[in-house]
Amino acid sequence: MNSALLLIDLQNDFCPGGALAVADGDAVISVANQAMAFCRRTGIPVVASLDWHPRHHGSFAVNAGNEVGGAGLLDGLPQVWWPVHCVQDTPGAQLHPRLHYQWIDKKILKGRQPDIDSYSAFFDNGHRGQTELDDWLRALGITHLTVMGLATDYCVKFTVLDALSLGYRTDVLAEGCRGVNLAAGDSRQALEEMRRHGARLVTLDEVMRGV
Ligand code: VGL
Ligand code: ZN
């Protein structure tokens, strides 16, 4: 089995104190470090996605003239309006300082186009364009992904659903995920939706035992 670990958006802005802080978001950093340590011992590549927006990104409520947390359309696609977050080359967009980022083999930047959001690390929200992630994994013969990160109900969920439809066997490390939860229960429902589409929910213990 040819596996990779996929870390989603472990950036300052999604952690407490950040612009789009996810409750307890920084609690997953130690999970990521433990999973990466296992990957290093066993030769499994580590990929990290980064939300990487231009300052004038259309998903930012202030740019759309809307209220944070509201919903509308961006270039014809449903869009939640977010606070300004993960602006390219700002501290909020940097990986969390406790993350052992020197163990990351490949970074995937997403959300760079101002007129479309990109929750998934594979495709933008309209599947109009794709990142280099699928090509990179395919070139290494990767068939199996373990995914964790922020946020459960957005970027983790859409990455996992795309991974499944691309044919990857996909495990979700649930204790390594935390959600935005605009509505109560969103993260729980997101995990259930991923499971229903064929993802396996796994524990760090299982990952470390190679189960
Ligand atoms: C994310 C909302 C906006 C995420 C990114 O990483 O889940 N959520 N941009
Ligand atoms: Zn974003």
pLDDT of residue 101: 96
Contact 202, 209 (CB under 8 A): no
- Read off the CATH number of the domain in which 114 is found: 3.40.50.850
pLDDT in tens, 152-161: 999 999 999 9
pLDDT in tens, 77-100: 999 999 999 999 999 999 999 999
Residue 2 lies in a domain: no
Which single residue is written with the structure tokens 């992904």? Answer: 145
Distance 210 CA to ligand 2 centre (A): 32
pLDDT in tens, 140-198: 999 999 999 999 999 999 999 999 999 999 999 999 999 999 999 999 999 999 999 99
Residue 151 lies in a domain: yes
Residue 81 lies in a domain: yes
Lookup: tokens for 83: 């606070």
Report the C-alpha gap between 14 and 32 in whole angstroms: 15
Residue 48 lies in a domain: yes
Q: 136-166 in b/e burial notation, b at 16+ Cβ within 10 A? A: bbeeeebeebbbbbbbbbbbbbbbbbbbbeb
Residues with CB under 5 A from ligand 2 (ion): 51
Residue 8, strand partner residues: 49, 149
Distance 169 CA to ligand 1 centre (A): 23
Please count the structural domains in the chain. 1
pLDDT in tens, 38-82: 999 999 999 999 999 999 999 999 999 999 999 999 999 999 999
pLDDT of residue 211: 80
Looking at 48-167, list the stretches that DSSP marks H as alpha helix, in order from N- to C-terminal side: 61-64, 133-139, 157-165
Residue 28 lies in a domain: yes
Residues of the domain holding 168: 7-209
pLDDT of residue 106: 98
Report the C-alpha gap between 129 and 107 in whole angstroms: 17
Residue 160 lies in a domain: yes
Give the residue, by CA position, lying nearest to ligand 1 atom 2.
154
Mutate to test the pocket of ligand 1, among 150, 162, 177, 191 (most ligand atoms within 8 A of CB): 150
The model's pTM: 0.98
Average pLDDT, the chain: 97
Region 106-124: mean pLDDT is 98
Residue 1 lies in a domain: no
Confidence of residue 1 (pLDDT cuts 50, 70, 90): low
